[in-house]
Amino acid sequence: MNEEKEPILRAENISITFGGLKALDRVSLEINPGEIMAIIGPNGAGKTTMLNIINGFYKPDEGRIIFEGKERPKKMKPNLIAAQGIARTFQNLALFTGMSTLGNIMVGRTMLMHSNIFSQALYWRFSQKEEIEHRAAVERIIDFLQIENIRRTPASMLPYGLRKRVELARALAAEPKLLLLDEPMAGMNLEEKEDIARFVLDANEELGYTIALIEHDMGVVMDICDRIVVLDFGEKIAEGTPDEIKADPKVIKAYLGTAGG
C-alpha cells in the first residue's frame, strides 16, 4: 500500500452525545483507498455510531468529515451522501421485505438510473434499455455472491444468512467508493462466515472496493483486515495493523483479554 495516498475518508475529532452519554469523544480515523479497515471494540464502544455518522444518519456535535478531499456540509441528507458513493449494510437486517431478492438489489442501483417518470411510465426505448442494462449488472452481482437460486424469493422468506448476503449485494449494487459493513458475520456459523469473508476479500481485491467493517470475530478481523481501529467507551484507544493491535496492552486490557483470562 502506498503510504502517501490521500485517504478516501477522514473523520476528524468526531464527538456526539445522546442525552448525557458521550457516545464518541474526539475520535479521528482515516480510511485509505483500497484497504479493508476494521473498527473493533466492546459493546457500546460507539462503533455503529461512528458508521452512522460516516453515512449521515447522525450529525456529529463536533468534528468534521472529509470525503475525497471535500469537507461535508453540516446538514447533508443521507441520500446525498449515498450519492457521493458511500453504501452500507446494517447490523439488524434492513432488507425491503415486500420485495424479491432481485428487487432489493435493483433498489441499490437507484442512484445510477436516470430515466424520468414519463419515460418510465411508457417503458419505451431509453427506460427499457436502462432497465435491462442495470438488470444485467445486478445479475453479475448475484453471480458474484452466488445467490442465483433465490433471485425471485421474497426477502421475507429468506433465512438469516442469506439475508445478510442480499444486503451485501444491495450495497455492492450501488457501486460505492466506500463500503461500510456493520457486523456482516454476526450470528453466522463457521461456514457462512468463511463465505462472507471470501466475498469481502473478493470485493476488495477483484472489484477494488474500499471497505470499512465492524466485526466481533477476532479471527476473521485479524485475517482479512489491513488496518484496525479500536474504540472503547467512545474513545479511540489504538490503531494499527492486526499484529500491532494484537500486541497492544491497552487493547488486550479493554477488549481482547489474555489467553489465561
Residues in contact with another protein by the rule CB under 8 A: 55, 57, 77-79, 82-83, 87-88, 90, 94-99, 103, 106-111, 113, 115, 117, 120-123, 127-128, 131-132, 135-136, 139, 170-171, 174
**68 or 226: whose CB is closer to another protein?**
68
Contact of 30 with 10, CB cutoff 8 Å: yes
* Biggest alpha carbon–alpha carbon distance for the chain: 68
Crossing angle of helices 126-144 and 190-205, rounded to 10°: 130
What is the C-alpha to C-alpha distance for residues 106 and 236, in angstroms, rounded to an integer?
37
**102 or 188: whose CB is closer to another protein?**
102
Task: Provide the minimum distance between the beta carbon of 26 and another protein in the complex, in angstroms, as a whole number.
Answer: 26
Report the SS3 class of residue 88: strand
Task: Provide the minimum distance between the beta carbon of 223 and another protein in the complex, in angstroms, as a whole number.
Answer: 28
What's the burial of 237, exposed, middle or buried (CB within 10 Å: 0-12/13-18/19+)? middle
**2 or 74: whose CB is closer to another protein?**
74
Task: Provide the minimum distance between the beta carbon of 13 and another protein in the complex, in angstroms, as a whole number.
Answer: 24
H or E stretch covering 10: strand 9-18
**33 or 103: whose CB is closer to another protein?**
103
What is the C-alpha to C-alpha distance for residues 56 and 36, in angstroms, rounded to an integer?
21
Task: Provide the minimum distance between the beta carbon of 83 and another protein in the complex, in angstroms, as a whole number.
Answer: 6
Task: Provide the minimum distance between the beta carbon of 110 and another protein in the complex, in angstroms, as a whole number.
Answer: 5
Task: Provide the minimum distance between the beta carbon of 18 and another protein in the complex, in angstroms, as a whole number.
Answer: 17
Residues 6+ apart with CB under 8 A from 108: 87, 138, 169, 170, 171, 172, 173, 174
Residues 6+ apart with CB under 8 A from 50: 11, 14, 24, 27, 29, 39, 231
**Beta bridge partners of residue 29, listed in sequence order:** 11
Residue written as grid cell 433471485: 151
**40 or 172: whose CB is closer to another protein?**
172
**43 or 92: whose CB is closer to another protein?**
92
**23 or 171: whose CB is closer to another protein?**
171
**29 or 174: whose CB is closer to another protein?**
174
What is the C-alpha to C-alpha distance for residues 131 and 232, in angstroms, rounded to an integer?
46
Task: Provide the minimum distance between the beta carbon of 210 and another protein in the complex, in angstroms, as a whole number.
Answer: 17
Task: Provide the minimum distance between the beta carbon of 67 and another protein in the complex, in angstroms, as a whole number.
Answer: 15
